[in-house]
Amino acid sequence: MNVIALTYVDLIIAASLVLGLAGLSVSLQLNISNKIIIAALRTTVQLTLIGFVLKTLFEHSQLSWVLLLSLIMLLIAGYEVMARQTHRFKGAWAYGIGSFSMFISSFTVAIFALTLVVQPEPWYQPQYAIPLLGMLLGNTMTGIALGVNHLTSTTVQQQNSIEARLLLGQTWKQAISDIQRQSVRVGLIPIINAMAAAGVVSLPGMMTGQILSGTPPLEAVKYQILIMFLISAGTGMGTIAASYFSAQRLFDTRHRLRTDRLQSVENNRQ
């Protein structure tokens, strides 16, 4: 089965839909037309650049280059997690908690899949390693951002209740446990919804892409099931780790709530 090649004219026609959406947002006074256009431009530039990078990487498959690109992806994902917090931690903690949680979850799951499940030769073959890690980081990033934001925002809102529990003799883990559990649930909602709707409401992106490129549908289905399982595990591990590190940071060694370690971010990015 031959792949139907897209021309630049095809992409311009598709871009007209985005411009139409921006125009509609202006008429409705939604104040998001600039964001729509900027997001579309970023998508075009970023995907074009990564296309050239991957083309070069596929031609020169070396572990050092794969690790470098993976590190860059992790650092950018860590920034995106930090940028979407209403109440973020002060200093390096704002960046470090999300980045470290994604590192120990996404990289662990990716290496597990590459070495024990997919088993390409070599195991770090860019054709498999980079797309797999990208999907894991992207979904884990969303889960961690939602979970940490819920944890810090709810803690600020319920500060008096938490401090009352501490005065009654509870430890910091007991005082924030309900909020922590709910934060993990919030972080896992997107991937749970995605798994529940896969194949019934929607055809996931990876499966759709493989089918369009000529992969037999059943083979594409197997890869998509694998990816969904890996993403759910990575998102769960990352969100649990991030919620724990964040909750621990909110208290000192004397079990006192330290909301002064947070800063409120105005004009938070959506």
- Whether residue 20 lies inside any domain: the answer is yes
- Residue 270: what pLDDT? 43
- The domain boundary residue, chosen from 33, 60, 87: 60
Residue 33 shares a structural domain with residue 86: no
Instruction: Kindly tell me if the per-residue pLDDT of 2 is higher than 70.
Output: no
Instruction: Kindly tell me if the per-residue pLDDT of 151 is higher than 90.
Output: yes
| Contact criterion met (CB below 8 Å) for 158 and 90 | no
* pLDDT band at residue 251 under the 50/70/90 scheme: very high
Residue 111 shares a structural domain with residue 219: yes
Phi and psi torsions of 198, nearest 5°:
-60, 130
Residue 155 shares a structural domain with residue 41: no
Q: Taking the model in full, what pTM does it have?
A: 0.82
| Contact criterion met (CB below 8 Å) for 24 and 93 | no
Domain that holds residue 162: 62-264
Residue 192 shares a structural domain with residue 92: yes
Instruction: Tokens for 40, please give them.
Output: 């579309």
Per-residue model confidence as pLDDT tens digits over 181-215: 999 999 999 999 888 888 777 667 777 777 777 77
Instruction: Kindly tell me if the per-residue pLDDT of 115 is higher than 90.
Output: yes
Residue 4 shares a structural domain with residue 120: no
Question: Into how many domains does the chain fold?
Answer: 2
Residue 87 shares a structural domain with residue 133: yes
Q: CA Rg, the chain, in Å?
A: 21
* pLDDT band at residue 1 under the 50/70/90 scheme: low
- Whether residue 269 lies inside any domain: the answer is no
Residue 55 shares a structural domain with residue 111: no
> Distance between CA atoms of 235 and 146, rounded to whole angstroms?
11
- Whether residue 79 lies inside any domain: the answer is yes
Residue 129 shares a structural domain with residue 214: yes
- Residue 25: what pLDDT? 92
Residue 213 shares a structural domain with residue 79: yes
Residue 100 shares a structural domain with residue 25: no
Residue 148 shares a structural domain with residue 233: yes
- Whether residue 104 lies inside any domain: the answer is yes
- Residue 246: what pLDDT? 94
* pLDDT band at residue 267 under the 50/70/90 scheme: very low
- Looking at every residue in the chain, the average pLDDT score rounds to 88
- Whether residue 270 lies inside any domain: the answer is no
- Whether residue 129 lies inside any domain: the answer is yes
Instruction: Kindly tell me if the per-residue pLDDT of 141 is higher than 90.
Output: yes
Residue 72 shares a structural domain with residue 110: yes
Per-residue model confidence as pLDDT tens digits over 214-231: 778 888 888 888 888 999
Instruction: Give percent of the chain above pLDDT 70.
Output: 96
Mean pLDDT along residues 98-118 = 93
